[in-house]
Amino acid sequence: MNTYDLLVVGSANADLVVGVDRRPAAGETVLGSDLTTHPGGKGANQAVAAAKLGARTALLARVGDDGHGRLLRDSMEAAGVDTSGVLVGGAPTGVALITVDPSGDNSIVVSPGANGRLMPEDVRAAGELFAGARVVSMMLEIPLETVAEVVRNLADGARLVLNPSPPAPLPDEVLSACDPLIVNEHEAKVIAGTDLGDDPEDWARQLLALGPRSVVVTLGSEGALVADAAGSQRVAAVKVKAVDTTGAGDAFTAALAWRLGTGESLAEAAAYAAKVGAAAVTKEGAQASYPTAEEVSAL
């Protein structure tokens, strides 16, 4: 019996957000809106997104002993996330500096802070979390050595979902455990280490050749492509008016990981995740924008 539908191992950041008419060029200063602070970070975002959908969710992460850390823990607990694996101390809470333009597109700079202190020994000490997890989801806002340690600590039968963001070359033991590896075009090129051309089907084939059991390529307004050894399939996007795209990819990944754990196929899970990601861009912020299952059904 699994205690958790989803265990997320990853980052927790305070998002410091400023709206701009246009993002600045190199050496340029532009005026923006008043600064707002939101709970974020890819790990915390995924955990909150899954919990709001109804998944039994836990997070293994590290935050600072500061106001930003308290903001993050409060947000996760309010969403129903099990925060027993959220460690405190070692460095200030991570911070993401985000600018958002009128179209909803964003640019982000992350100061990792405490996220960089989530170490392999923290993974080894979290055996109960791993033993109880049906699916484990990760990203790369934590040290790569910690990502590799997660692979070594997966429970028998647990499924690993990885969004390699920010992208970096991955060791074979990590790639071979991914089911799926979730990438956008930029991430796909970094992981593959080469120019992949213009055809997403080719990207998926080249990525699968590196060892993942399955691949999901997100294509923005064109939806997504799912692929495994049996072939590939397109998943349509859900058309909505975007207000803020911050954290939408995290909502997509969390929803897909959760639905895979319920027994859905990769294409079915991606189709549901596309709805969740679409709902998330219709509101400002990351975690505050994430929908409930009822809101996804209405969409």
Residues belonging to the active site: 250
C-alpha to C-alpha distance for 4 and 11, rounded to whole angstroms: 19
Residues 6+ apart with CB under 8 A from 53: 254, 255, 258, 276, 291, 292, 293, 296
* 220 known member of a binding site: yes
* 42 known member of a binding site: yes
C-alpha to C-alpha distance for 214 and 225, rounded to whole angstroms: 11
Q: Residue 60's closest CA among 81, 28, 87, 41?
A: 87
Q: Would you say 136 and 154 are in contact if contact means Cβ atoms under 8 Å apart?
A: yes
C-alpha to C-alpha distance for 5 and 296, rounded to whole angstroms: 19
C-alpha to C-alpha distance for 82 and 144, rounded to whole angstroms: 24
* 163 known member of a binding site: no
Q: Would you say 46 and 71 are in contact if contact means Cβ atoms under 8 Å apart?
A: no
* 52 known member of a binding site: no
* 153 known member of a binding site: no
Residue 44's identity, in one-letter code, is: A
* 241 known member of a binding site: no
* 283 known member of a binding site: yes
* 221 known member of a binding site: yes
* 250 known member of a binding site: yes
* 249 known member of a binding site: yes
Q: Whole-angstrom distance between the N-terminal and C-terminal Cα of the chain? A: 32
* 273 known member of a binding site: no
C-alpha to C-alpha distance for 19 and 33, rounded to whole angstroms: 5
* 253 known member of a binding site: no
Biggest CA–CA distance in the chain, Å, is: 56
* 244 known member of a binding site: yes
Q: Are strands 159-163 and 135-139 parallel, antiparallel or unpaired?
A: parallel
* 285 known member of a binding site: yes
Question: Which residue positions form the known binding site for ATP?
Answer: 184, 218-223, 249-250
Residues contributing to the annotated binding site for K(+): 244, 246, 280, 283, 285, 289
Q: Give the residue ranges of the annotated binding site.
A: 13-15, 41-45, 141, 184, 218-223, 244, 246, 249-250, 280, 283, 285, 289
Residue stretches of the annotated binding site for substrate? 13-15, 41-45, 141, 250
